[in-house]
Structure 1
Amino acid sequence: MATAELLQQIQTGNLHKRILPQAYEAQIKPISETLNNVDINVEFDPKKHLAFTPDCLQTVKRTTMEELGAVCDDQISDIGVSAPFPLFTEEAVEIMRAEILREEVFSQWARVSFNSTTGLDCTIRGYAKPTCPFTYRAWTHPETVAAVSAMAGVELEVIMDYEVANVNVAMRSEDEAFNQKVSARRRSSLADKTDSDIPAVVGWHNDSYPFVCVLMLSDTTEMIGGETLIKTGSGEIVPAAGPAKGKATVLQGRKLTHLAALPVGYTERITTVTSYRAKDSTKPETSVLKTVKPENNFGSMYNEFYPEWISYRMKVISDRAIAIGEEFERRRSNGETFDKDAAFEKLKDLQAYLQHTWKEMEVTDEEYAAHYSKK
Structure 2
Amino acid sequence: MATITETAPLSTVPLIPTSKADYEYRGPSKVKFDPKIHLNYSPPSKSYTFADLGVPPNGTSDFAVCEPFQLATDAAVLELRRELLQKNTVERRMHWWHRSPACLRGFTVEESPFTHAFWTSPEVIAIIESLTGIEMEISLPYEIGHTNVQVGARGREGIKDLKLKPEPVPSGWVEEEGEFHKVPVDNWHTDSFPYSIVMMMSDTEKMVGGQTAVRLPDDSMLKLRGTTIGSAIFIQGRHLPHAALRAWNTGERITQTCPYRAKHPALRDDTEITNSLQLSYLNELHGQFSKERFLVLKKKCDYMIERLDKAKKEAKEREPDNYDAVIMDNDEVGDMMREMIWYLQVAMQQMGMDPKEGKQGL
| 1:247-279 deviation line (CA, Å, top 9, x unaligned) | 111000001112222222221111111001111
Q: Which amino acid aligns with 2:337?
A: L
Deviation at 1:179, TM superposition (A): 4.7
Contact conserved, 1:81 with 1:249, CA < 8 A, in 2? Answer: yes
Contact conserved, 2:26 with 2:83, CA < 8 A, in 1? Answer: no
The structure 1 residue matched to 2:45, chosen from 32, 36, 60, is: 60
Single out whichever of 329-338 and 277-286 deviates more from structure 2: 329-338
Deviation at 1:50, TM superposition (A): 0.9
The residue aligned with 1:35 is 23
| 1:332-372 deviation line (CA, Å, top 9, x unaligned) | 111151457423333222212111221222399xxxxxxxx
Q: Which runs of 5+ in 1 are unaligned?
A: 1-31, 182-197, 365-375
| 1:163-215 deviation line (CA, Å, top 9, x unaligned) | 1111222242589972579xxxxxxxxxxxxxxxx963323211000000011
Deviation at 1:83, TM superposition (A): 1.3
CA–CA distance in 2 between the matches of 1:115 and 1:259? 10
Contact conserved, 1:38 with 1:94, CA < 8 A, in 2? Answer: no
Alpha-carbon distance change, 346 to 155 in structure 1, aligned in 2, over 3 angstroms: closer
SS at match of 1:51: strand
Alpha-carbon RMSD: 2.9
Q: Which runs of 5+ in 2 are unaligned?
A: 1-19, 154-168, 316-324, 355-362
Match status 1:292 vs 2:276? yes
The residue aligned with 2:225 is 241
CA–CA distance in 1 between the matches of 2:208 and 2:353? 38
Alpha-carbon distance change, 88 to 38 in structure 1, aligned in 2, over 3 angstroms: farther
Q: Which amino acid aligns with 2:82?
A: A
Alpha-carbon distance change, 38 to 358 in structure 1, aligned in 2, over 3 angstroms: closer
TM-score (norm 2): 0.76
SS at match of 1:268: coil
The structure 2 residue matched to 1:222, chosen from 206, 217, 237, is: 206
Q: Which runs of 4+ in 1 moved over 6 A?
A: 174-177
Deviation at 1:221, TM superposition (A): 2.0
**Percent identity between the aligned chains?**
27
- Larger gyration radius, structure 1 or structure 2: 2
Q: Which amino acid aligns with 2:258?
A: T
CA–CA distance in 1 between the matches of 2:252 and 2:268? 37
Match status 1:105 vs 2:89? yes
Q: Which amino acid aligns with 2:348?
A: W
The residue aligned with 2:281 is 301
Deviation at 1:243, TM superposition (A): 4.5
Q: Which amino acid aligns with 1:108?
A: R
The residue aligned with 2:344 is 354
Match status 1:312 vs 2:302? no
CA–CA distance in 2 between the matches of 1:179 and 1:37? 28
The structure 2 residue matched to 1:170, chosen from 139, 150, 153, is: 150
Higher relative contact order (CA 8 A, sep 6+): 1
The residue aligned with 2:38 is 49
TM-score (norm 1): 0.73
SS at match of 2:48: strand
Match status 1:326 vs 2:282? no
Map 1:121-132 to 2 at 5 A.
121-132=101-112
More helix by share: 1
CA–CA distance in 1 between the matches of 2:353 and 2:257? 25
